[in-house]
A and B are shown apart, each in its own frame.
Chain A
Amino acid sequence: MTVRDALNSALDEEMSADPKVFLMGEEVGEYQGAYKISKGLLEKYGPERVLDTPITEAGFTGIGVGAAYYGLRPIVEFMTFNFSMQAIDHIINSAAKSNYMSAGQISVPIVFRGPNGAAAGVGAQHSQCYAAWYATCPGLKVLCPYSSEDARGLLKAAIRDPDPVVFLENELLYGESFPVSAESLDSSFCLPIGKAKIEREGKDVTITAFSKMVGYALKAAEILAKEGISAEVINLRSIRPLDRSTINASVRKTNRLITVEEGFPQHGVGAEICTSVIEESFGYLDAPVERIAGADVPMPYAANLERMAVPQVEDIVRAAKRACYRSVPLAAAA
């Protein structure tokens, strides 16, 4: 099952289960979504529940928030999360804070979803990871699926959740196929928010990743295995709440940590994970924590430079080797 079909089936099932759920955004109806995630939904649920909107991100986001204030459960699609910047006031100041400011009188059951992170060859304004941005804000939940099972289970959980959820997909994963269990195809299937998944067990080094980078981390783990290094790969799934206990338990076992993300390094998800491990498991660390992140620059368009600006499998492999003393640490080489 492709990630696209997983997302589409999750939307379909949740819309079918709850008449309060509706989808709105640019091109989600007639065009069936810029990436065809909403395929067939307009036909099935009609224009009152699959709304093509005017091109005003701040407009349909604010309207979604208002609809969630009063009884509906909107799913707002951004054509890419870069465009959510035009609506971030409603996500932060309205959606994330209203339950607290109203002391529980106004809950905001809404999902903001769409492709996030680097796509391919689309430059700075279409290629940025917003996981760290949204994850810094209390009141929001931030989910990043990797596989088809993640996509189905987490999106269904997001739609059913009473709190606002930022759901960060990845365009390059939409077409990828993953094997799925019979259990995850059941319409009642749902994954817990705030729980990471150990994608591959290991004992020498922990690699945390989310979204597309989970695939890179798994490839790196395969290469490392051939060289006798057993890497444990954690698929974070949820950036907020962050599953600190799974991460720390893994580091206490492997004594080494590499964090991987496509986003910028400063104040990134890796920085938060590193802090959590320093605070809770400092005495267990046998090597400096390394953060693999996107380059600290807006995304360039030229393919050669673009490749250099995002983490590659080899970067993860090299970092893991340094952590396991199989090569010279960066600090010593400098």
Chain B
Amino acid sequence: MGLPSMIKQSSCLSSLTHPQKPPFPARNAQNFRDPDANFRMTATLFSARRFKSVKAEKQLCPLDNVDHNQVLDLPGGKVVLTPEMRFISESPVERAQCYRVLDNDGQLIMCSNFKKVSEEIAVKMYTDMVTLQTMDAVFYEAQRQGRISFYATTIGEEAINIASAAALTTDDLVFPQYREPGVLLWRGFTLQEFANQCFGNKADYGKGRQMPIHYGSSKLNYFTVSATIATQLPHAVGAAYSLKMDRRNACVITYFGDGGSSEGDFHAALNFSAVMEVPVIFFCRNNGWAISTPTSDQFRSDGVVGRGRGYGVRSIRVDGNDALAIYSAVHAAREMAISECRPILIEALTYRVGHHSTSDDSTKYRPVDEIEWWRSARDPVARFRKWIESNGWWCSEAESELRNNVREQLLHAIQVAEKVEKPPLAELFMDVYDVPPSNLCEQEKLLGETVRRNPQYYPSDVSL
């Protein structure tokens, strides 16, 4: 099995500064005794040359025309020598800019560079965003009524969910966290299927094994949600390696939050993805809050996007409330990931408008005004609506019809899901292994007989 022929050797990134000539003058020994002369940390120095030794050899620009006496030739590549003692700044001089296509009023920003979206796709994107919003409202209410044990909303992150999904194909594998049900929705998971999972009934594809919102669908290439934070990142890299070995025309996307980027798995996944050169998109939903921990307590320097370069991973920062920007960025990321067989890091800046989950009351640790401002003035769904309306693709009649329809479908789905039987007793023992071992078969038999003999001691909702 050889490497896919489509893999190109990565070329020198144009953004890297490449000194044709060492910019520093020769120093005499005298200067070394003068600490002030050599220990000046000024911003201009850093902005001039910040990237020297950390890139893998093949990603760095060749240094063929530099005098060999001024170069350190290492197994990891050539590094230019300098007599100046200069520490690399702990943060970039300028923060990475954020890519945006639609302004706050949903109007195209002049000269914006984006991937065109057809009317059909745009309308589906919008209706799915509204559906997601409505699903959150209805399921959240169902949890408050005690009908399901847990729920987490995606409010404020509808554009991230739907637009990123729209830019991919169903052949692309998804390793989600838990705030991306919109990706499944886009791929055709029905409201009834969502409800079946949340109610853990026997029609749930997970057979009621996982807590609500931990959806999974092998048919839709959406891997069952992993509750342990950031473990999906290395899994995504492994699956991307599998795609690479099979030479598939597809990539993997994995989602995580700003908090997840602090896990060791984030480091492992980015480093391995760069070294193994696999087609994976790391999509960070930087929504400002990891439960009650703000990003200022999560990391320093310039957020998540800045880490990409440290690992040799191409990266971009996008406005997470701008569906067109997300769609365009993910579309481009997918192209690069597949055609160049490389990882891409996307940091989408947004705000978690909802509470972390139904176990959380976020007004205890952040101002209500702040939440409301993001909910109303920065709503990604309203922004996208303005754009499709200005194109003549949407109107207020369609809006009210859609919202009423979706709400009715959801209420119906919940009623149905509630009535469907829960998984039978035998399911307790299935799928621990591919084939149940003898001890589990014995336990199942014994438990079944015991329940049959003593039904008064066992709940009546477990069918034999």
* B431:A104 contact, CB within 8 angstroms: yes
- Residues 169-180 of chain B, each 1 if its beta carbon lies under 8 Å from chain A, else 0: 000010100000
A304 at the interface (CB under 8 A from B): no
Stretch at the interface among B182-190, B222-230, B370-378, B402-410: B222-230
A163 at the interface (CB under 8 A from B): yes
User: In whole angstroms, how far apart are the Cα atoms of A84 and B216 in the complex?
Assistant: 28
Question: Which of chain A's residues has its CB closest to B209's CB?
Answer: A101
A62 at the interface (CB under 8 A from B): yes
A60 at the interface (CB under 8 A from B): yes
Partner of A63, one of B206, B228, B272: B272
Question: Which of chain B's residues has its CB closest to A243's CB?
Answer: B438
Chain A residues with Cβ below 8 Å from B217 are 105
Q: Known: A19-B1, A101-B209. Contact between A69 and B235, CB under 8 A?
A: yes
Chain B residues with Cβ below 8 Å from A69 are 223, 235, 238-239
A191-227, CB < 8 A from B: 194
* A94:B272 contact, CB within 8 angstroms: no
Partner of A241, one of B236, B240, B269, B437: B437
A265 at the interface (CB under 8 A from B): no
Which size class do B's interface residues fall under? 35 or more
* B218:A67 contact, CB within 8 angstroms: no
* A54:B271 contact, CB within 8 angstroms: yes
Partner of B224, one of A54, A59, A61, A105: A105
B195-221, CB < 8 A from A: 204-207, 209-210, 214, 216-218
* A66:B210 contact, CB within 8 angstroms: no
User: In whole angstroms, how far apart are the Cα atoms of A104 and B430 in the complex?
Assistant: 8
User: In whole angstroms, how far apart are the Cα atoms of A99 and B205 in the complex?
Assistant: 12
Chain A residues with Cβ below 8 Å from B272 are 53-54, 56, 59-60, 63
A162 at the interface (CB under 8 A from B): yes
* B268:A62 contact, CB within 8 angstroms: yes
Query: Can you name 9 extra interface pairs (CB under 8 A) apart from A48-B2, A106-B224?
Result: A58-B265, A59-B269, A67-B239, A69-B238, A72-B238, A74-B238, A94-B228, A102-B206, A103-B430
* B231:A106 contact, CB within 8 angstroms: no
User: In whole angstroms, how far apart are the Cα atoms of A161 and B433 in the complex?
Assistant: 10
Partner of B242, one of A58, A71, A107: A71
B135 at the interface (CB under 8 A from A): no
B16 at the interface (CB under 8 A from A): no
Question: Which of chain B's residues has its CB closest to A163's CB?
Answer: B433
A98 at the interface (CB under 8 A from B): yes
B101 at the interface (CB under 8 A from A): no
Question: Which of chain A's residues has its CB closest to B280's CB?
Answer: A66
Q: Known: A102-B206, A103-B431. Contact between A65 and B235, CB under 8 A?
A: yes
Partner of B237, one of A63, A99, A105: A63
A27-55, CB < 8 A from B: 46, 48-49, 51, 53-54
B248-280, CB < 8 A from A: 264-265, 267-269, 271-272, 275-276
Expressed in whole angstroms, the minimum distance between the Cβ of B312 and any Cβ of chain A is: 12
Partner of A93, one of B231, B246, B432: B231
User: In whole angstroms, how far apart are the Cα atoms of A268 and B52 in the complex?
Assistant: 52
Which 6 pairs of residues, A with B, have the shortest CB-CB distance? A66-B238, A62-B234, A59-B268, A66-B235, A67-B238, A63-B238
B243 at the interface (CB under 8 A from A): yes
Expressed in whole angstroms, the minimum distance between the Cβ of B248 and any Cβ of chain A is: 10
Expressed in whole angstroms, the minimum distance between the Cβ of A118 and any Cβ of chain B is: 28
User: In whole angstroms, how far apart are the Cα atoms of A289 and B434 in the complex?
Assistant: 34
Q: Known: A56-B267, A62-B235, A70-B239. Contact between A105 and B434, CB under 8 A?
A: no
User: In whole angstroms, how far apart are the Cα atoms of A182 and B8 in the complex?
Assistant: 48
User: In whole angstroms, how far apart are the Cα atoms of A104 and B432 in the complex?
Assistant: 8
B29 at the interface (CB under 8 A from A): no
Chain B residues with Cβ below 8 Å from A62 are 231, 233-235, 237-238, 265, 268-269
User: In whole angstroms, how far apart are the Cα atoms of A71 and B243 in the complex?
Assistant: 9
Chain B residues with Cβ below 8 Å from A176 are none
User: In whole angstroms, how far apart are the Cα atoms of A19 and B1 in the complex?
Assistant: 7
Partner of B209, one of A46, A56, A63, A100: A100
* B271:A101 contact, CB within 8 angstroms: no
A238-264, CB < 8 A from B: 241, 244
* A70:B173 contact, CB within 8 angstroms: yes
User: In whole angstroms, how far apart are the Cα atoms of A107 and B435 in the complex?
Assistant: 11
Q: Known: A99-B431, A103-B209. Contact between A63 and B264, CB under 8 A?
A: no
A89 at the interface (CB under 8 A from B): yes
A-B contact pairs, 12 of them (CB 8 A): A51-B276, A59-B234, A63-B234, A63-B241, A67-B242, A89-B231, A90-B231, A94-B235, A100-B432, A101-B206, A105-B205, A105-B217
A175 at the interface (CB under 8 A from B): no
A64 at the interface (CB under 8 A from B): yes
Residue in B205, B237, B268, B432 whose Cβ sees the most chain A Cβ within 10 Å: B268
Expressed in whole angstroms, the minimum distance between the Cβ of B89 and any Cβ of chain A is: 26
B368 at the interface (CB under 8 A from A): no
B26 at the interface (CB under 8 A from A): no
Question: Which of chain A's residues has its CB closest to B264's CB?
Answer: A58
